[in-house]
Structure 1
């Protein structure tokens, strides 16, 4: 059941765009990358690379390993952790370069010693901060190339991703985004399933009873769920269910239901193809007024303004 529920939770994850790059780096070198509104992942060939996120121990990235930064935190990439870093934007500016969505970024830097080929991608997801999945992810996920939880074909998928992004053949942007989805899901599976003892939403998802309740919420957000109805659906008393759900998930059942409804609604709003009342009803609200009030509490904006600002941001990419 855990893997089926995990699939349900990952269903809404779709990459909007991918920024890719190939950096040829020769030791000694150290680069500071600022925070981004996306999920960067890294892999390398040649010499190992170190990745340092503030508050976390340095991670040594061996050739063929993967590192994912789900929250896009600032980090340092280097050939050795004791080197002072150079700002990435300043390094690119010195070479007359800037990141672009329509062209992969390629550049070289370093002191001329041992070579590392670093392949990078920044996967941009709509509303990632609001997706329940992201709330349980750590700042950095490191998956070894030899990890048995990694599917054997993942390396081939990564190679395909690199080739698609660097060749820029017709349709490469769509192909790279879809391959990024596959990579992202595989990396999450490799990380999430072995670490199910961690507190939060995932811990609730993998609990036999609370997981069923979460699955019902995700599959049928339009239903008129109450704590009593959810508890009865999973065979628990109201008080025991409510206490167990809050303990594991960190939210009350109705709080989690509301947050998920608003997240689903935000995806529909950005699509711009449905009437507001239809979106409201699809997530359990019988009136636009009630839905608008709940959505404003969740996002800080009324639905119409939220949709305009999100679509404008996507067009600007």
Structure 2
């Protein structure tokens, strides 16, 4: 009887640990992989007939998405297995990795800049390639974001994230937003570019949501989720950044030595725990300065700084301007 009770207790403990682990993974993904607020979008509509192939450059501080409206294409990247996409599929490149789009995976392409020499954020373009083979239509976009808000975990995402047609259809708002954006005959009205920017921002949010759920369900696809200590530390930094953390206290909280914690964190996240903590605090400080009317003097304590001078110096080092200049600069731009 005592053995059965012990086994039952162990099963309950394992179930409880599993539930906590899943909850922490969800917290981690929801807090740290929130899509970055976009600063600009270049969108284009492609009408192509085989044979065709276009080489896209790597984009800095820019996510890239391709939505297949009709037909299909192949996506090829260095060192990666080619991906075939059909009508209704969506692919997102979180960090804008260079890749080729083509009607066949082995076809050599022409540079994107040869067919779209100007791709400034806030503008649109069109590509037409006439061939004798199958026709395809695509919606493509470069989604520019503030690089200072990109965490190491965001950069650790897979090079490409794919939602097939069935997955897109299970997100009706995403599907309808993409179809509207892909429409070539949308009327041009006052404020159209701002609406387009926010529509693409919403599409990115809606696309990443099911993809991140999938990552949470399969931790092996994102190595940091396999390490209980580091994933827990990331949740704490994401949600409790205002506490007076030190590297020693973070390491103790997750049951690791300082040296082991620092080494594992840097290997899995791609940056030191100190820099990751600073990045999260600066991200929240920027949000408070631009999206709220909170007095500037109250911001340091809200993001974990005991000293206003220390916060001021850290903010200026991070953004290149003082908190006051940052707030007034954003207001002027708006």
Q: Is the structural similarity TM-score above 0.5?
A: yes
Q: Number of matched residues?
A: 304
- After superposition, the CA RMSD in angstroms is 4.0
- 2:35/2:205 contact within 8 Å kept: no
Evaluate the alpha carbon distance shift between residue 131 and residue 267 of structure 1 in structure 2; reply closer, same or farther with a 3 A threshold. farther
Relative distance call for 1:240 and 1:135 in structure 2 (3 A) is: same
Counterpart of 1:44 in structure 2 is: 68
Equivalence map 1:32-111=2 (5 Å): 32-37=55-60, 38-92=62-116, 98-111=118-131
Q: In the aligned structure 2, how far is the partner of 1:36 from the partner of 1:70?
A: 10
> Structure 2: how far apart are the matches of 1:61 and 1:254?
41
TM-score, normalised relative to structure 1 = 0.75
Out of 30, 39, 43, the position equivalent to 1:16 is 39
Tell me if the contact between 2:48 and 2:135 (Cα under 8 Å) persists in the aligned partners: yes
Gaps of 5+ in 1: none
- Partners of 1:57 and 1:261 lie apart in 2 by 38
In structure 2, distance between residues paired with 1:165 and 1:239: 60
SS in 1 for 2:69: strand
Q: What per-residue deviation string (whole Å, max 9, x for no partner) do you get for residues 199-255 of structure 1?
A: 455556xx5x765543342233222124565578x6x54649974973865666545
Residue 220 of structure 2 aligns to a residue in which SS? coil
Query: 1:140-151 to 2 correspondence within 5 Å?
Result: 140-147=160-167, 151=171
Cα displacement (A) at 1:258: 2.8
Contact conserved, 2:224 with 2:230, CA < 8 A, in 1? no
Q: Which secondary structure state, in structure 1, belongs to the residue aligned with residue 67 of structure 2?
A: strand
| Alignment CA distance shift 1:11-1:52 (3 Å) | closer
Q: Does 1:118 align with 2:116?
A: no
1:29 aligns with 2:29: no
Deviations along 1:54-110, one digit per CA (max 9) or x if unpaired, are: 2222221111111111111222211122222112222245xxxx3354442123113
**Which consecutive segments of 4 or more residues in structure 1 shift more than 6 A?**
269-276
Segment of structure 1 superposing worse, 9-18 or 82-91: 9-18
Say whether the 8 Å CA contact 1:224–1:284 is kept in structure 2. Answer: yes
Query: Normalization by structure 2: what TM-score?
Result: 0.72
The DSSP-based 3-state class of the residue aligned with 1:35 is coil
C-alpha distance in structure 2 between counterparts of 1:149 and 1:241, whole Å: 47
Cα distance in 1 for residues equivalent to 2:212 and 2:169: 10
The offset of 1:128, in angstroms, is: 6.2
The alpha-carbon deviation at position 126 of structure 1 amounts to: 1.3
1:154 aligns with 2:174: yes
Checking the alignment, whether the CA contact within 8 Å between 2:49 and 2:130 is kept in structure 1 is yes
2:207 maps to: 187
